[in-house]
Amino acid sequence: MTAQVITVTSGKGGVGKTTAVANLATALAADGKKVVCIDGDIGLRNLDVILGLENRIVYDIVDVIEGRCKLKQAMIRDKHYPDLHLIPAAQTRDKNAVSPSDMIRICKDLRPDTDFVIIDSPAGIERGFRNSIAAADRVLVVTNPEVSAVRDADRVVGILEAEEKGSPSLILNRLNPALVRNNDMLSAEDVLDLLGIQLIGIVPEDEAVIIGSNRGAPVVTDSRSRAGQAFRNIAKRLQGQEVPFMDLEQQNVLWSAIQRLTGRK
Amino acid sequence: MEQVTSLVQIKGIRDGLLATFSDAPWEDQRVALLAQIDERPAFFQGARLAMDVGTQVLKVNDLVDLRDQLSERNVVMWAVISESSTTEQTSQLLGLATRISKPRPEEQRQFANTVTDDTALLISKTIRSGTRIEYPGHVVVIGDVNPGAEIVAEGNVIVWGRVRGMIHAGAKGNRSAFICALDLSANQLRIADEISATLKPQKDPRPEVASINSEGRLQAELWHAG
């Protein structure tokens, strides 16, 4: 077994990197894969909260790097999936406590007994971002259909290309088909046209995502959620399966028809 | 140690430190530079380092490796000055500065001598946000110029693609310079010291040429064959 190391990054903050990591890791674990997520946001950790593992943290990644514990001791097992582990970030340190070669070493140690290592990059393009991409075999760029988020994503894609990390794949998060229809939001085509990279998934806007994050239960575990379905599909594509893209438009028309029939709208 | 350290000269400049490299093999000089830093870590702590690499031709990996090794020692590499256009282009793509605020006088002269009217830089990729391409001649881009990207050329700029970033042609004052593109929906265009407002994106984009017209204003016009 040799793990694939996948880094999730975005440039801009608040577009859903951590949510994407939590959901993809959970979906891969639900498919029976051995998954380790690493929170690369030293000083502003929150992947543990979204996975609902906050109160189990004893050691963190900086403890591993500085030799206070073994790698295994810093790996927190998920509540529901025994093959899903989290290596949390240190909350009381900053990005300079970790270097790119530390990340490469940790990933090298994880590779033999893991299928997927998923690294949650901090926002920005500075040290923390460089640490997070150092060991990556593949990079996923998350963006929202907003001009500022797309421009930051473009910057990140440019850096990845310049550093010869290969072309990243795109997750377009929080797309609202109704707004796109009224020309009030960038469409998936607009975003892809500008970034010119491969699309790996479109996640529709869905309240269930926020509810799931607050409960520490990622939305992929909710079989009725459309965002959950989108993340499950991306996880399948990461495993090399061909999954057709969801038709957001059609589903939405159907959904509004149901709402009309049931008198909810 | 005397011999090793003399490979790379480090001195203080207004913007931090400047490391000057010689023509010796890059690998030896890289090791020498790091050795100098490791010798006096307290002095180099948090330093901003510019590098004058002379005629060295450096690839992305050379610069990225050194930048990461420097950053592990808490030294920031922010500029690479080079006489090789390959190295200069690599540095620009990595977001490093390629001029420092006080260029050496002999550098200025070199540009004046080497640049002729028909020098052009060909870039066969999309220029993305945050990338600034500066060139003392013409620039030809096969690809798009995305919002947030900048091209500054002393000659003309030709883009076989869509322009949505900033382009400055004739940057040293050449008012007869022009900019042409398949789709010119730029944020801002500049020719010499004239600046255009935002060009509205067109529904049905057609090739356009921007130049300074007889009234002295920057204007974009549809391109007509012949």
Q: What does the pLDDT look like over A210-227, one tens digit per residue?
A: 999 999 999 999 999 999
- Please tell me the predicted confidence (pLDDT) of residue B107: 42
Kindly give the confidence (pLDDT) of every residue in chain B, 226 residues in length, as a single tens digit, with 9 standing for 90 and above.
444 456 888 888 877 889 998 888 898 889 999 998 888 888 888 888 999 998 888 888 889 889 988 988 888 898 998 888 888 888 888 888 888 764 444 444 344 434 456 788 999 999 999 899 999 999 999 999 999 999 999 999 999 999 999 999 999 999 999 999 999 988 789 999 999 876 666 677 889 999 999 999 998 888 887 6
Cβ partners under 8 Å of residue A251, min gap 6: A226
- Please tell me the predicted confidence (pLDDT) of residue B104: 45
**Residue of B146, B162, B187 for testing the chain A interface, max A β-carbons within 10 Å:** B146
- Please tell me the predicted confidence (pLDDT) of residue A140: 98
Q: Do B64 and A158 touch (CB under 8 A)?
A: no
| In the predicted structure, residue A112 carries a pLDDT above the cut 80 | yes
- Please tell me the predicted confidence (pLDDT) of residue A211: 93
CATH (one of 3.40.50.1360, 3.90.79.10, 3.40.50.300, 3.40.50.720) for A4-261: 3.40.50.300
The alpha carbon of residue B109 is apart from the nearest alpha carbon of chain A, in Å, by 30
Domain boundaries in chain A?
4-261
- Please tell me the predicted confidence (pLDDT) of residue A249: 63
3-state secondary structure A75-92: CEECCCCCCEEEECCCCC
Q: Do B68 and A194 touch (CB under 8 A)?
A: no
Q: Do B126 and A196 touch (CB under 8 A)?
A: yes
- Please tell me the predicted confidence (pLDDT) of residue A134: 94
- Please tell me the predicted confidence (pLDDT) of residue B112: 43
Q: Which residues pair with B188 in a beta bridge?
A: B166
- In Å, what is the CA distance from B81 to each residue of A24, A218, B100, B159? 43, 49, 8, 26
For A158-178, how does the pLDDT look when each residue is reduced to its tens digit (9 = 90+)? Answer: 999 988 888 999 999 999 999
Instruction: Determine contact: A164 vs chain B, CB below 8 A.
Output: yes
Residue A162 has its nearest CB partner, among B93, B129, B147, at B93
Domain boundaries in chain B?
2-108, 115-222
- Please tell me the predicted confidence (pLDDT) of residue B223: 86
- ipTM passes above 0.90: no
Range A106-124 average pLDDT: 96
Q: What is the CATH number of domain B115-222?
A: 2.160.20.70
Which residues of B fall within a CB distance of 8 Å from A166? none
- CATH superfamily label, B2-108: ACT domain (3.30.70.260)
Which residues of B fall within a CB distance of 8 Å from A147? 147
Sequence-separated contacts (24+) of B5-10 with Cβ below 8 Å: B5/B32, B5/B35, B5/B36, B7/B32, B8/B32, B8/B33, B8/B36, B10/B36
- Please tell me the predicted confidence (pLDDT) of residue A262: 62
Task: For chain A, give percent helix, strand, coil, nearest 5.
Answer: 45, 15, 40
